[in-house]
Amino acid sequence: MAENNIISLYELSQLIQSAIYDIFHGKFFWVKAELHKLNYYPYSGHSYPELLEKKENEVICQMRGIIWRSDYQRIQQKFIDQIGEPLKDNVHVLMLVSVRYDAKYGLSIQIKDIDPNYTLGDLEKQKKLTIEKLKAEGIFDANKSTTLAIIPQRLAIISVETSKGYSDLNTAFKRYEKKYQILQDLYPSLLQGEQAAYQIRERLNTIKTKIHQYDAVLIIRGGGGDVGLSCYNDYELCKTIATFPIPVITGIGHSTNFTVAEMVAYHNGITPTDVAMFIIQKFEQFEQQILDIQNYISSKINNFLEQQHNRLQQNIQNLIILSKELFYQQNIALKDYQQFIQSTSKGIMHAHHYHLVQIHHKIRNLSIHTILEERNKLHLYHQKLKQFPKNLIHQSSQNIHYIKQKIIQSFYQKLQLKKLHLQNLEKNLMLLHPENTLKRGYSIIFDNNKNVIKSAHALNENQDITITFHSSEAAGKIIQLKIKENDNKQ
């Protein structure tokens, strides 16, 4: 092989660079591709995205891109202004690019601009696809079919303690804290951006392991405008919400173009304050039901008493009329009897004067005695008839009063039992609260990503850790790991 046909690698790269320069210099192309990884470096402000093209889910082309700092800042601001989302990983883009080749770094394409409208169309397409998949699986309305407790008192809240939305929620609750008692546990999570969908899903899975402790889950976000909401169209997150066994209530904090997560949730509040008032409204409705029941019972008792009173009054009137009628009939009978005796006495007196005189005296005495006895009997019967309605009214009033007291006492005892049961549940929940666990001398270890360390297998030597105590934190580093034999087997 002639030595003059041999060139160095650098010389070959110079030839490639010259050829590419001659063909592509000064030319720009609109290119569509998948931005797989953005690879943004905050220190320099530059971005080196990985660009792909796939066919039937297989990569058929892959290139490295460059976005210089000034272009990157302009493109990001354009995305936020037009579609409410910053440029991020795993989106389809339409780019204005030029081709360049460097002997040291190889072939790359320099990205001068990206059309947000093209990406917006892709995001809407992904949102539509998520809706279609959930409906095809028959779970789109599954969470709406769950049953919300009559009093949703125990709440698991996915939010950030320092967020404005969480603050607005608690402000609304505090206005009613003297009237209603609401128990809540906070599960901190990112609420927007690329990792938000994964973290919210993980928090839901954690809540699911102790689902019996809660009546509903609240996803609360606020104060961030409409930026970063595409994570709430993520299929896996929306599926987790749709199939969650208890109601999921969203308060993401915007009023237009609802996300899929809001569509599949049991209830969506436009703001965290709306969510709080939805919960408070359930307490007020239950309170009104109790008042309605009290009024209903009171009305029934009053109607019963009034009916009994009217019935007794009617019985009294009937007895008075009956006694008068009976007295009148007895008077007529006595007069007829007296007239009969008188006429009979006169007839006998003509025939047997002396004998009739004797009989007359006997009959007269007997008549007077009989009349007095009958009158006494009538008077006694009349007194009994007058006294009977009063006794009957008095006895009925006592029975009604006793029944009323029994009903009130039974209702009050049931309310007390329910109140005692709720107080016991509150005490149990407070004992299980992580804050109380820390007070008893325990501590929690987090890694740099604020994840809880549950096993020594999750640690590495020279790894930085944070140890949380009841009222303080300490930073540390793993110098040496000693794993027990039992842990190795596990």
Tokens of residue 453, six digits: 């360390």
pLDDT higher than threshold 50 for residue 236: yes
Most confident residue range from 270-274, 437-441, 444-448, 482-486: 270-274
Architecture of domain 9-120: Beta Barrel (2.40)
CB 292 within 8 A of CB 298: no
Q: Closest Cα partner for 272 from 280, 264, 263, 260?
A: 280
**So where are the chain's domains?**
9-120, 137-270, 287-432, 438-489
Q: What is the pLDDT of residues 66-117, one digit of tens each?
A: 999 999 999 989 888 877 778 888 778 889 999 988 878 888 889 999 888 7
User: What is the pTM for the complete model shown?
Assistant: 0.50
pLDDT higher than threshold 90 for residue 212: yes
Note the pLDDT of residue 218.
96
Please tell me the number of Cα atoms within 13 Å of 45 on its side-chain side. 9
Note the pLDDT of residue 225.
47
More confident residue, 422 or 148: 148
More confident residue, 392 or 272: 272
pLDDT higher than threshold 60 for residue 1: no
Note the pLDDT of residue 345.
61
Report the CATH fold assignment for 137-270. Rossmann fold (3.40.50)
Q: 252 — phi, psi (to 5°)? A: -85, -20
Tokens of residue 155, six digits: 């709440």
More confident residue, 17 or 340: 17
Going by pLDDT thresholds of 50, 70 and 90, the confidence category of residue 144 is: very high
Note the pLDDT of residue 46.
92
Under DSSP, is residue 29 helix (H, G, I), strand (E, B) or coil?
strand
Q: Closest Cα partner for 239 from 185, 275, 190, 197?
A: 197
pLDDT higher than threshold 50 for residue 221: yes
- The gap from C-alpha 466 to its chain's centroid, in whole angstroms, comes to 34
Going by pLDDT thresholds of 50, 70 and 90, the confidence category of residue 237 is: very high
Please tell me the number of Cα atoms within 13 Å of 474 on its side-chain side. 9
d(CA 61, CA 47): 20
Summary mean pLDDT of the chain? 84
